[in-house]
Chains A and B, each alone.
Chain A
Amino acid sequence: MERLKFATVGSVDDGKSTLIGRLLFDSKSIFEDQLEHIETVSKRRGDDYVDLSLLTDGLRAEREQGITIDVAYRYFATPKRSFIIADCPGHIQYTRNMITGASNVDLALVLVDARTGIVEQTRRHSLLVSLLGVPHLVICVNKMDLVDYDQSVFDSIRHEFETFASRLDLQDVTFLPISALAGDNVVSRSANMTWFEGPTLLHHLENVYTASDENRIDTRFPVQFVIRPQRADIPDYRGYAGCVAGGVISVGDEVMVMPSGLTTKVTAIDSPAGPQNEAGPGKAVTLVFADDLSITRGNMICRPHNRPRSSQDLEAMVCWMDDVNPMQLDKIYTIKHTTNVVRAKMTSVLYRLDISHLHRESGVSSLAMNEIGRVTLHTTAPLFFDDYHQNRTTGCFIVIDETTGQTAGAGMLLSPRS
């Protein structure tokens, strides 16, 4: 049984928290004491019905103000799959929150209110899903009960979205008509929308095919930690621990170490579950090599004929997330990329993206909080990387403000424009 990590995106008004509550409630993943608790709170506040959003709003300020402030994580399982929900609030600091929650998910679920259809926020969220390279997108047209379960409303929203989304890089989009409040097509099929022949939301989540989402071709292994036991019984052991970032590494493979360019052979793969013959993406392993080479944290293991790019001059889409200090050209930042930490200067902003209308705005020299732009940067040492769309793990980086320590930006490396 595998695990599916998905992000839910939308604002309070879209009924997102209600949908999550519904998923947990109908799949019997809510515990009695949790239910009792939110029933008590709902009653005390004088709500007409039990407010399922209280399940995810965990912080004092959120409950007092009735809003969601930060990404919340929820866990549930069905006999088919385990699920991790990253619940991203949509209305405040939406870019920052959504990127935090959606950066490494398998699927994003965007809610659309059937009464209002595609709004600016839907376009923004979908653009971010596209930029982040989330492999699967589900558009839930919610509150169908408030439009009399009318098929033509659903069809026109779907058509409008498809027209807009043709300009984005979305690989797999599914549309579902639902009512989170009434429970239509969430866990059980709706008797009110017999015209809809697709799956329920839960059925879709249980069955969406994710095995081909990871890059199993291009071998990438950023060295994270060198294991030298200092033990008399194994005096010569040198293991290179890390997490496979791409491809499949097998015992006997000839590999190359970057930046030295030296080659050697994999003689053993140790893992938390014992020795392995091979290791694919996401596996935390320790590699042992035939030759005693100088290899340190931040080096990249690859195949001699399939190497990542290596450069100090980079181009990336950067989302700025620092609410105090905007991105400045020629200021020195720390960049963390795989297991490498380097210093860098942003050298130019090629354009800023108007994320509501997909326009490119030129003549910009800074990015403020929640703004996204294509920038060039120069690093103090080469990075070993791939285009983000080839490999999310070797194509992403974070920007750290050296004065405040804040995670100020998130970057996705791209091939330079020709």
Chain B
Amino acid sequence: MKTELGSLVDESVTIIREVAAEFENPVLLFSGGKDSVVMLHLAVKAFSPARIPFPVMHIDTGHNFPEVIEFRDRCVAEMGVRLIVGSVQGSIDAGRVADVSGPRASRNPLQTVTLLDAIAENKFDAVFGGARRDEERARAKERVYSHRDVYGQWDPKNQRPELWNLYNSKHQPGEHFRIFPLSNWTELDIWRFVGDNNIELPSIYFAHRRPVFRRDNMWMAVTPFLQPEANETASEQMVRFRTVGDATCTAAIESIASTVDEVVAETAVARITERGATRADDRISEAGMEDRKRTGYF
């Protein structure tokens, strides 16, 4: 492995082991997206030759790309880890949240309720996420061990100092931590790691033809959950996804990169950030992510 990535891997593996040693009941958020796939592979490396000592969890909006769900299930089966699915549809059916409607509706914000309910129900005290500080302004300020109060809230103005490589896991019953071992990775680091380790990713990360339509200067995929409005026209384009999330708020980019090496080359010269190019949910306001995180979002 190249030394450049090596130090990031060492840091992440050390954090993952520390959490396994200090918390009673950790869980790893796993959506099948590239960051969570890298997290799962790092967890395998951290405990090899033993099995990963915690389950993985997917918060499922029900509005997925089918390739990703197929990949998710195959991946956990091959790795031999236990998958817990927190269902947004389940939360809607139970009356915990109201479904959204209209042509621009997205279940993305509803995930917070499902996530917090699943954390409480399973008594998770540490929740690994694949978020990176290079992704977004608010995340650039977040700790590796990010404390959440009993309401799942993040208080950005009152974060615990985080010094050296010493992490403070102290919390009251009902509180939990979000843990971000990939904090110091960039999008390019993720792709280089995927290439160096021959890691499989969902096919939608690579260039393919698909029906899309233009909305807010982004290519949105035509899916059962998202249809063009009257003034929008669908056409088939060569695209790939830079991020994979809820199908109603994740856009594709035009690309002919069909291998990891080609994606690395494309990422190295990208002039637009990952989320800026692809995430409708960050465009709501200047502090969209911060506001969602405060109430318990990923």
Identify the A interface with B (CB < 8 A): 1-3, 31-34, 37, 41, 56-61, 63, 69-75, 77, 82, 84, 96-97, 99-100, 103-104, 224-225, 227-231, 234, 237, 239, 241-243, 270, 272-273, 282-284, 286, 297, 321, 334, 336-337, 339, 392-393, 396-398, 400, 402, 405-407, 410
Contact = CB atoms under 8 A, between A and B. Distances in A.
A31 B271 contact: yes
Nearest to A87: B140
A224 B270 contact: no
B277 A229 contact: no
A405 B168 CA distance: 8
A321 B18 contact: no
25 contacts: A3-B7, A41-B286, A56-B140, A58-B136, A58-B290, A63-B287, A70-B141, A72-B141, A73-B141, A74-B134, A82-B4, A100-B162, A104-B163, A225-B47, A230-B50, A270-B48, A272-B1, A272-B9, A273-B6, A284-B17, A392-B164, A396-B163, A398-B164, A405-B147, A407-B162
Contacts of B164: 103-104, 392-393, 396, 398
Interface string B165-194: 111101110000000000110101000000
B278 to A, nearest CB: 11
A410 B184 CA distance: 22
Nearest to A81: B4
A-B interface, 3 closest residue pairs, ranked by CB to CB distance from nearest = A58-B137, A33-B276, A405-B170
A64 B163 CA distance: 28
Given A229-B50, A398-B166, A3 B4 contact: yes
Interface of B: 1-4, 6-11, 13-14, 17-18, 20-21, 42, 45-51, 133-134, 136-141, 147, 156-157, 159-168, 170-172, 183-184, 186, 188, 270-273, 276-277, 286-287, 290-291
B51 to A, nearest CB: 7
A393 B165 CA distance: 8
Nearest to A399: B168
B20 A1 contact: no
A103 to B, nearest CB: 4
Contacts of A392: 164
B166 A75 contact: no
B4 A243 contact: no
A284 B48 CA distance: 12
A80 to B, nearest CB: 11
A89 to B, nearest CB: 11
Contacts of A339: 18, 21
A406 B18 CA distance: 18
Contacts of B136: 58
**Which of A82, A104, A410 has the most chain B CB atoms inside 10 A of its CB?**
A82
A79 B189 CA distance: 14
B272 A59 contact: no
B21 A284 contact: no
B138 A59 contact: yes
B162 A273 contact: no
B159 A99 contact: no
Given A272-B42, A398-B168, 7 more contacts: A59-B137, A59-B287, A75-B133, A272-B1, A284-B13, A286-B48, A397-B166
A1 to B, nearest CB: 5
A298 B238 CA distance: 54
Given A59-B141, A241-B46, A283-B10, A70 B166 contact: no
B163 A284 contact: no
A271 to B, nearest CB: 8
Contacts of A71: 141
Nearest to A61: B157
**Which of B10, B159, B184 has the most chain A CB atoms inside 10 A of its CB?**
B10
Given A273-B1, A396-B164, A227 B50 contact: yes
